Amino acid sequence: MPITTLKDIAAAAHVSSATVSRVLNADTSLQVSAATRQRIFAAAESLNYTKHQTHPTTSAGTVALVQWTTEAGEQGDLYYRAIRWGVENQLQADGYQVARNFAPDGLPAASGLAGVIAIGKYSHDQLAAFAGLGKPLVVIDQDTLDDDISCVTTSFGAPVQAIVDHFFTHGRTHPIMIAGVEQTTDGQPLHDPRPEAFTTAMTRRGEEPVLYSGPFTIEGGYQVMKKILSQPAAAHFDALFAASDNMAIGAIKALQEHHLNVPEDVAVIGFNDMAVGRFINPSLATVHIATQEMGITGVELLEKMTKTPGSQMRITLASQLLVRDSAAL
């Protein structure tokens, strides 16, 4: 497969190669709009760009960056790769060396580390092992405050409420949800707040929530929707909320194979705003998560903890419903 270059990204994002380079390297002196930055990151995602890490000549220290996926697995997971870009770009802009650790590599060596940033979902035992390194620690994309560990998360309640409100406002009064099932690398089940948020939103309307579940993958969404459509009650839903864009894409394929049109017969909304969702037909309505900003905020929180150690904190970034063709009612 050809290697994606900055020139390729620049052409897709309609900007100069210099602008792409400065955005991907977190040049804080660059005056560019948030929309342009997002367009560049989206183009990089869609072209499967892999940033080749460079080390600064001077260093503020080394930060261990831990991913809960394998390095190969991350290539197919644009969501976590985008968060990592945000972390690495900000760390390098601030003069830090980055020591990558992908599952199942185990814990980084504590000696010489300025801090640890862990991206993903971890069990209580894994979190305790991170904390045991005795270094400033931030977890991104998991609420770990109850484990006395600082974290950066995204909002779920408000955007899921907005999804349900959108369906009902436009006459789709029988929405269902496909929730995702996943576990930590040491086999512990993980709690996803989206099904709870969907249940709350439906209950507020006096409606009974209908939920199904499957793996957080395109194939998972496809297989679950095929199972739903094989049931006699299949005709009783007119909208679908999938817990991830991948699951939504798989579900749309199953709906189309069943000769159901999206959104005319079934409106579909995903979650995460992966670049690929903009290019399928119909384009996927979704919830935008500020992935790069989560990574940047994680670095800023780590630096704050390094300078002024104290109580742990949780920072929650807002997410936003984006209505595209699959739910344009």
Sheet of 150-154, strand order: 96-102, 61-67, 113-119, 137-140, 150-154, 314-317
Q: For the chain, which domains are there?
A: 53-154+290-319 (3.40.50.2300), 157-288 (3.40.50.2300)
Chain segment 190-242, per-residue pLDDT in tens: 889 999 999 999 999 999 999 999 998 999 999 999 999 998 765 689 999 99
Q: Are strands 150-154 and 314-317 parallel, antiparallel or unpaired?
A: parallel
Cα torsion angle, 277, 180, 73, 111, sign: positive
pLDDT, one tens digit for every residue, the chain (329 residues) = 566 777 788 888 888 877 877 777 656 556 777 678 778 877 887 777 766 544 444 467 899 999 887 776 666 667 888 888 889 988 988 889 898 888 777 778 888 899 999 999 999 999 999 999 999 999 999 999 999 999 999 999 999 999 999 999 999 999 999 999 888 888 898 889 999 999 999 999 999 999 999 998 999 999 999 999 998 765 689 999 999 999 999 999 999 999 999 999 999 999 999 888 888 999 999 999 988 899 999 999 999 988 887 789 999 999 999 999 999 98
Nearest by Cα to 203 from 155, 242, 243, 161: 161
The CA distance from 94 to 300, in Å, is 10
Residue 178, exposed/middle/buried by CB under 10 A (0-12, 13-18, 19+)? buried
